[in-house]
Amino acid sequence: MTDKHTNIILVGLMGAGKTTVGKLLARHLDKCFYDSDHELVRRNGVTIPVIFEVEGEAGFRRREEAVIDELSSLDNVVLATGGGAVLSAQTRALLKSRGTVVYLRGTVEELWQRTRHDRNRPLLQTADPKARLRELYTQRDPLYREVANVVIDTSRQNVNTLVRQLEQKLAGMPD
Ligand SMILES: Nc1ncnc2c1ncn2[C@@H]1O[C@H](COP(=O)(O)OP(=O)(O)O)[C@@H](O)[C@H]1O
Ligand SMILES: O=C(O)C1=C[C@@H](OP(=O)(O)O)[C@@H](O)[C@H](O)C1
Ligand SMILES: [Mg+2]
Protein backbone atom coordinates (compact mmCIF):
# COMPACT_ATOMS: atom_id res chain seq x y z
CA MET A 1 0.00 0.00 0.00
CA THR A 2 1.21 3.51 -0.70
CA ASP A 3 1.52 5.65 2.42
CA LYS A 4 0.96 9.26 1.36
CA HIS A 5 3.90 10.61 3.29
CA THR A 6 6.60 8.13 2.32
CA ASN A 7 6.87 9.60 -1.20
CA ILE A 8 8.01 13.13 -2.00
CA ILE A 9 7.10 14.32 -5.49
CA LEU A 10 8.69 17.42 -6.97
CA VAL A 11 6.89 19.58 -9.53
CA GLY A 12 7.73 22.92 -11.13
CA LEU A 13 8.95 24.53 -14.32
CA MET A 14 12.14 23.72 -16.20
CA GLY A 15 15.12 25.01 -14.23
CA ALA A 16 13.32 25.00 -10.88
CA GLY A 17 15.79 22.40 -9.60
CA LYS A 18 13.54 19.32 -9.38
CA THR A 19 16.28 16.98 -10.59
CA THR A 20 19.11 18.59 -8.61
CA VAL A 21 17.22 19.19 -5.35
CA GLY A 22 15.45 15.82 -5.62
CA LYS A 23 18.69 13.86 -5.82
CA LEU A 24 20.14 15.56 -2.73
CA LEU A 25 16.88 15.42 -0.78
CA ALA A 26 16.64 11.66 -1.41
CA ARG A 27 20.15 11.19 -0.04
CA HIS A 28 19.29 13.21 3.09
CA LEU A 29 16.02 11.36 3.70
CA ASP A 30 17.46 7.96 2.79
CA LYS A 31 14.92 7.45 0.04
CA CYS A 32 15.38 6.19 -3.52
CA PHE A 33 15.59 8.89 -6.16
CA TYR A 34 13.79 8.68 -9.50
CA ASP A 35 13.49 11.24 -12.24
CA SER A 36 10.79 10.62 -14.85
CA ASP A 37 12.95 12.09 -17.65
CA HIS A 38 16.01 10.03 -16.71
CA GLU A 39 13.85 6.93 -16.59
CA LEU A 40 12.43 7.61 -20.06
CA VAL A 41 15.94 8.13 -21.43
CA ARG A 42 17.23 4.98 -19.76
CA ARG A 43 14.34 2.82 -20.92
CA ASN A 44 14.13 4.08 -24.49
CA GLY A 45 17.85 4.53 -25.06
CA VAL A 46 17.35 7.95 -26.65
CA THR A 47 17.43 11.55 -25.40
CA ILE A 48 14.35 13.65 -24.57
CA PRO A 49 14.84 15.81 -27.71
CA VAL A 50 14.85 12.64 -29.83
CA ILE A 51 11.56 11.45 -28.27
CA PHE A 52 10.04 14.86 -29.08
CA GLU A 53 11.44 14.72 -32.61
CA VAL A 54 10.17 11.24 -33.39
CA GLU A 55 6.85 11.16 -31.52
CA GLY A 56 6.06 14.82 -30.98
CA GLU A 57 5.11 16.36 -27.64
CA ALA A 58 1.95 14.21 -27.51
CA GLY A 59 4.01 11.01 -27.77
CA PHE A 60 6.36 12.22 -25.05
CA ARG A 61 3.41 13.08 -22.77
CA ARG A 62 1.94 9.58 -23.16
CA ARG A 63 5.23 8.01 -22.14
CA GLU A 64 5.65 10.51 -19.30
CA GLU A 65 2.17 9.80 -17.94
CA ALA A 66 2.82 6.04 -17.91
CA VAL A 67 6.25 6.26 -16.27
CA ILE A 68 5.01 8.66 -13.56
CA ASP A 69 2.12 6.32 -12.81
CA GLU A 70 4.59 3.48 -12.38
CA LEU A 71 7.22 5.37 -10.34
CA SER A 72 4.74 7.10 -8.03
CA SER A 73 3.24 3.75 -7.11
CA LEU A 74 6.53 2.74 -5.45
CA ASP A 75 7.09 3.47 -1.76
CA ASN A 76 9.70 5.61 -0.06
CA VAL A 77 10.89 7.48 -3.11
CA VAL A 78 11.71 11.04 -4.07
CA LEU A 79 10.33 11.53 -7.58
CA ALA A 80 11.40 14.46 -9.76
CA THR A 81 8.82 14.93 -12.50
CA GLY A 82 9.30 16.79 -15.79
CA GLY A 83 7.95 20.35 -15.90
CA GLY A 84 4.99 19.41 -18.08
CA ALA A 85 3.80 16.41 -16.08
CA VAL A 86 0.97 18.41 -14.49
CA LEU A 87 -0.62 19.08 -17.90
CA SER A 88 -2.27 15.68 -17.56
CA ALA A 89 -5.38 15.71 -15.36
CA GLN A 90 -4.83 12.01 -14.73
CA THR A 91 -1.29 12.67 -13.50
CA ARG A 92 -2.45 15.55 -11.29
CA ALA A 93 -4.96 13.31 -9.56
CA LEU A 94 -2.40 10.55 -9.20
CA LEU A 95 0.31 12.73 -7.70
CA LYS A 96 -1.98 14.12 -5.03
CA SER A 97 -2.90 10.62 -3.90
CA ARG A 98 0.59 9.12 -3.99
CA GLY A 99 2.84 11.48 -2.10
CA THR A 100 3.57 14.83 -0.58
CA VAL A 101 3.83 17.12 -3.57
CA VAL A 102 6.35 19.95 -3.46
CA TYR A 103 6.18 22.83 -5.93
CA LEU A 104 9.63 24.32 -6.50
CA ARG A 105 8.84 27.82 -7.70
CA GLY A 106 11.25 30.21 -9.36
CA THR A 107 11.10 33.54 -11.16
CA VAL A 108 11.11 33.44 -14.96
CA GLU A 109 14.41 35.35 -14.94
CA GLU A 110 16.11 32.76 -12.74
CA LEU A 111 14.60 29.79 -14.57
CA TRP A 112 15.87 31.25 -17.79
CA GLN A 113 19.38 31.83 -16.39
CA ARG A 114 19.48 28.21 -15.26
CA THR A 115 18.31 26.74 -18.57
CA ARG A 116 19.64 29.09 -21.22
CA HIS A 117 22.76 27.07 -22.11
CA ASP A 118 21.04 23.69 -22.01
CA ARG A 119 20.02 22.19 -25.36
CA ASN A 120 18.26 19.25 -23.78
CA ARG A 121 14.87 20.92 -23.32
CA PRO A 122 13.08 20.91 -26.70
CA LEU A 123 10.34 23.33 -25.60
CA LEU A 124 12.98 26.02 -25.12
CA GLN A 125 14.53 25.64 -28.57
CA THR A 126 12.71 28.71 -29.86
CA ALA A 127 13.77 32.19 -30.97
CA ASP A 128 12.76 33.63 -27.61
CA PRO A 129 13.08 30.97 -24.88
CA LYS A 130 12.54 33.50 -22.10
CA ALA A 131 9.16 34.49 -23.54
CA ARG A 132 8.34 30.78 -23.84
CA LEU A 133 9.17 30.26 -20.17
CA ARG A 134 6.95 33.21 -19.29
CA GLU A 135 4.05 31.65 -21.20
CA LEU A 136 4.63 28.27 -19.58
CA TYR A 137 4.76 29.93 -16.15
CA THR A 138 1.39 31.60 -16.74
CA GLN A 139 -0.17 28.40 -18.00
CA ARG A 140 1.27 26.02 -15.42
CA ASP A 141 1.68 27.93 -12.15
CA PRO A 142 -2.02 27.32 -11.28
CA LEU A 143 -1.61 23.60 -12.04
CA TYR A 144 1.47 23.27 -9.82
CA ARG A 145 -0.41 25.05 -7.03
CA GLU A 146 -3.40 22.78 -7.51
CA VAL A 147 -1.35 19.64 -6.80
CA ALA A 148 1.11 20.99 -4.23
CA ASN A 149 1.05 20.37 -0.49
CA VAL A 150 4.10 22.59 -0.10
CA VAL A 151 5.33 25.55 -2.18
CA ILE A 152 9.02 26.45 -1.90
CA ASP A 153 10.45 29.64 -3.37
CA THR A 154 13.83 28.80 -4.92
CA SER A 155 14.79 32.40 -5.69
CA ARG A 156 18.35 33.23 -4.64
CA GLN A 157 18.52 30.06 -2.55
CA ASN A 158 21.24 27.53 -3.09
CA VAL A 159 20.44 23.86 -3.38
CA ASN A 160 21.74 22.93 0.08
CA THR A 161 19.64 25.63 1.74
CA LEU A 162 16.58 24.47 -0.17
CA VAL A 163 17.05 20.87 0.91
CA ARG A 164 17.42 21.91 4.56
CA GLN A 165 14.34 24.12 4.31
CA LEU A 166 12.37 21.31 2.71
CA GLU A 167 13.42 18.78 5.32
CA GLN A 168 12.17 21.12 8.05
CA LYS A 169 8.84 21.73 6.30
CA LEU A 170 8.28 18.04 5.66
CA ALA A 171 9.16 17.08 9.23
CA GLY A 172 6.56 19.55 10.52
CA MET A 173 3.74 18.23 8.34
CA PRO A 174 0.86 16.25 9.85
CA ASP A 175 0.70 12.51 9.05
N1 LIG B 1 18.56 26.68 -6.31
C2 LIG B 1 19.39 26.70 -7.34
N3 LIG B 1 20.30 27.69 -7.45
C4 LIG B 1 21.16 27.76 -8.48
N5 LIG B 1 21.18 26.86 -9.51
C6 LIG B 1 20.28 25.86 -9.47
C7 LIG B 1 19.35 25.73 -8.40
N8 LIG B 1 18.58 24.64 -8.64
C9 LIG B 1 19.03 24.13 -9.81
N10 LIG B 1 20.05 24.83 -10.29
C11 LIG B 1 20.76 24.59 -11.58
O12 LIG B 1 19.83 24.84 -12.61
C13 LIG B 1 19.95 23.88 -13.64
C14 LIG B 1 18.61 23.18 -13.83
O15 LIG B 1 18.35 22.37 -12.68
P16 LIG B 1 17.50 21.04 -12.77
O17 LIG B 1 17.65 20.32 -11.48
O18 LIG B 1 17.84 20.30 -14.01
O19 LIG B 1 16.02 21.63 -12.89
P20 LIG B 1 14.68 20.91 -13.34
O21 LIG B 1 14.86 19.43 -13.18
O22 LIG B 1 13.63 21.46 -12.43
O23 LIG B 1 14.48 21.32 -14.76
C24 LIG B 1 21.09 22.96 -13.24
O25 LIG B 1 22.26 23.40 -13.87
C26 LIG B 1 21.19 23.14 -11.73
O27 LIG B 1 22.51 22.94 -11.28
O1 LIG C 1 8.37 21.56 -19.07
C2 LIG C 1 8.31 20.62 -19.89
O3 LIG C 1 7.30 20.41 -20.60
C4 LIG C 1 9.45 19.69 -19.99
C5 LIG C 1 10.39 19.68 -18.98
C6 LIG C 1 11.59 18.81 -18.99
O7 LIG C 1 11.94 18.42 -17.66
P8 LIG C 1 12.54 19.42 -16.55
O9 LIG C 1 11.39 20.21 -15.98
O10 LIG C 1 13.16 18.53 -15.55
O11 LIG C 1 13.52 20.31 -17.24
C12 LIG C 1 11.34 17.57 -19.85
O13 LIG C 1 10.39 16.74 -19.23
C14 LIG C 1 10.84 17.96 -21.22
O15 LIG C 1 11.86 18.68 -21.87
C16 LIG C 1 9.54 18.78 -21.16
MG1 LIG D 1 14.60 17.72 -14.39
Could you tell me which residues come within 8 angstroms of residue 6 by beta carbon, excluding any fewer than 6 positions away? Answer: 31, 75, 76, 77, 99
Annotated binding site: 15-20, 37, 61, 83, 121, 140, 157
| Residue 12 near residue 103, CB atoms below 8 Å | yes
**What is the SS3 assignment for 105?**
strand
Ligand 2, atom 6: nearest CA belongs to which residue? Answer: 82
- At 173 the pLDDT is 86
- At 4 the pLDDT is 46
Report which bound ligand comes closest to the CA of 111: 1
- At 5 the pLDDT is 62
Q: Which residues of the chain have pLDDT under 70?
A: 1-5
Could you tell me which residues come within 8 angstroms of residue 33 by beta carbon, excluding any fewer than 6 positions away? Answer: 22, 23, 26, 27, 77, 78, 80
Ligand 2, atom 10: nearest CA belongs to which residue? Answer: 82
As its CATH architecture, domain 4-168 has 3-Layer(aba) Sandwich (3.40)
Q: Break the chain into its structural domains and give their ranges.
A: 4-168
Question: pLDDT per residue over 15-24, tens digit each?
Answer: 999 999 999 9
Question: pLDDT per residue over 35-56, tens digit each?
Answer: 999 999 999 999 999 999 999 9
- Measured CA to CA, the distance from residue 77 to residue 80 in angstroms comes to 10
